[in-house]
Structure 1
Amino acid sequence: MRPCVVLLFVVSLLTLCEAQGTIETPVFVLKGRDLLLELHADLPEKFSFVDWKINKTVDLVRIESSGEPNVFKDFTGRLEFPDKHFSVILKNLQEADSGVYSAEAVTPTEDKPLTEYKVTVQGPVSPVKQIVDRVDSSISESCDLHVTCRTHNSHINSTFRCVDQNCSQEGGERPEVTTSGASLQVYLLNSTIICNHSNQVNWTQAFNTTEHFCSSNASPFHYGWVPAICTVTLVITAALHV
């Protein structure tokens, strides 16, 4: 192999290794929660301090090689430092705190990138309501349910056809993305119709059973709209959240 080719291969390999060492880690966190940013990379043998920054430009904290943190003025009272050296806990995150958080080691000769987190702070999703409209078919064993899942700024519709208590969904399987970036979905799980409104850290649900509308004991007349019988809210804790 020619020397120039070998050199190009080595340079490419070093570039790849450096990129792998600083790959962005996506993190989603619920508004108002804290977040631990851990420093996983190995530090150089001789370094002066570690700098944490936001979007490569805003200084967050400078941590001396001894582990002593010097927090920049705008973030006073908003940071904590766990036992692990050079890691940072961000307190009471708000949506405006979303961004790329990176750490680099400063040495006498270079600034070495160590870790990057792409942090997205999301608020809780709004409650979802389910409206079920029964339309009887001319076939006595058949029952059509028109379902609407509605939030404060979006909605999605679907139809469920039940024959002899066996129900299937017809249309509306694809989730609707709301104006806030959350996902609104309606689907059938066994005999339960579920409306799900969710983002990466929080979700709410409303549900009803098909038997409630299409059983032999159900009234044969048109139901009109009927709200869901239950709503569930759950917070999904993000990875790295403390």
Structure 2
Amino acid sequence: MSLFVILGLLVCIQAQGTIETPVFVLKGRDLLLELHADPPEGLLYVDWKINKTVILVRFDRSGKADILHSVPGRFEFPENKFSVILKNLQEVDSGVYSAVAVTSTGDKPVSEYKVTVQGPVSPVKLTVDRVDSRCSESCDLHVTCRTHNSHINSTFRCVDQVCSQEGGERSEVTTSGASLQVYLLNSTIICNHSNQAHWTQDFIIAEHLCYLNAELPSVFLVKMVVFSVALIIMVSAVITVHLVDFKKHQERNGGQTPHAALEESSHLKVTF
């Protein structure tokens, strides 16, 4: 039974002729297409096709290229025979590119690429929303990994400079089909936004945040200190104003205190 299975697989492989190679290309980049196998004997020409129907370039047996379907300037031909460079690829250029060797006895596929052209992903921002610190050696970091149309929240716990991510790596597929991930690598928290052709990252060092958070005073403490200083300044100003007024009043009454001047005035005799 196994012999028949093996023979069947060999027949399928021979019928297929070549293995499709997936290729992801960033928009605007170039792509080199090469033959995966040497042309067979009795070669007449080699055709490069898109989606197995439209012939783009035909090479004669000497390797001379003839462009049959293309926008001018989209193809270049390196020195190695039967190879093609696709220039400035765009999303509409995605498809299956295949090379077929044509002989007097039939056609033989010699290369096949499944090409997907993708645009660049947007930048990401990793922010620390809150740090819950119990001491300088232990804290919980609450972070957000954010791109323009999606975000992921995650919590990291650091104890004695050893950090771990609660629930493990977090990831999701964005509305544009890219992958948004937040994960821990050694002591670094990484926020990654990527597709198969491009990626952007932001990161922070987790273990340092516990130390910094423990060294810096809390926001509440800072507010209390500022309020206390302002209150002292206000009280000092009020006291200073009253002292100045009191001194002026003394000078007007010949150096007497307001109370003494009042008592002296009560003994004056008023005559008419």
**TM-score tier after normalising by the smaller chain length:** 0.7 to 0.9
Distance verdict in 2 for CA 1:158–1:188, change over 3 Å: same
Higher helix share: 2
Using the alignment, how far apart are the partners of 1:140 and 1:34 within structure 2?
Answer: 52
The 1-side partners of 2:87 and 2:219 are apart by 56
Structure 2 stretches lacking a partner, 5+ long: 221-272
* Higher mean C-alpha displacement, 152-161 vs 134-143: 134-143
1:139 Cα deviation (Å)? 7.2
C-alpha separation in 2, matches of 1:60 and 1:148: 48
More displaced stretch, 11-20 vs 34-43: 11-20
Match of 2:215 in 1: 217
In 2, the alpha carbon distance for the partners of 1:112 and 1:125 equals: 39
Q: Residue in 2 aligned with 1:239?
A: none
Match of 1:63 in 2: 59
Change (3 A) 1:139 1:116: same
Give the TM-score of the pair, scaled to structure 2. Answer: 0.71
- What is the rounded CA distance, in whole Å, between the counterparts of 1:114 and 1:56 in structure 2? 13
Name which of 89, 109, 112 aligns with 1:113.
Answer: 109
Find 2:89's aligned residue among 76, 82, 93. 93
Choose from 149, 171, 175 the match for 1:175: 171
Pairs within 5 Å for 1:52-201: 52-136=48-132, 142-171=138-167, 173-201=169-197
The RMSD of aligned alpha carbons is 2.6
Tell whether the 8 Å contact from 2:97 to 2:114 is kept in structure 1 after alignment. yes
1:75 and 1:50, CA in 2 relative to 1: closer, same or farther beyond 3 A? farther
Q: Which has the larger radius of gyration?
A: 2
Contact 1:78 1:92 in 2 (8 A): yes
The 1-side partners of 2:18 and 2:197 are apart by 25
Letter in 1 for 2:19: I
- Provide closer, same or farther for how the CA distance between residues 88 and 220 of structure 1 changes in structure 2, counting only shifts above 3 A: same
Higher strand share: 1
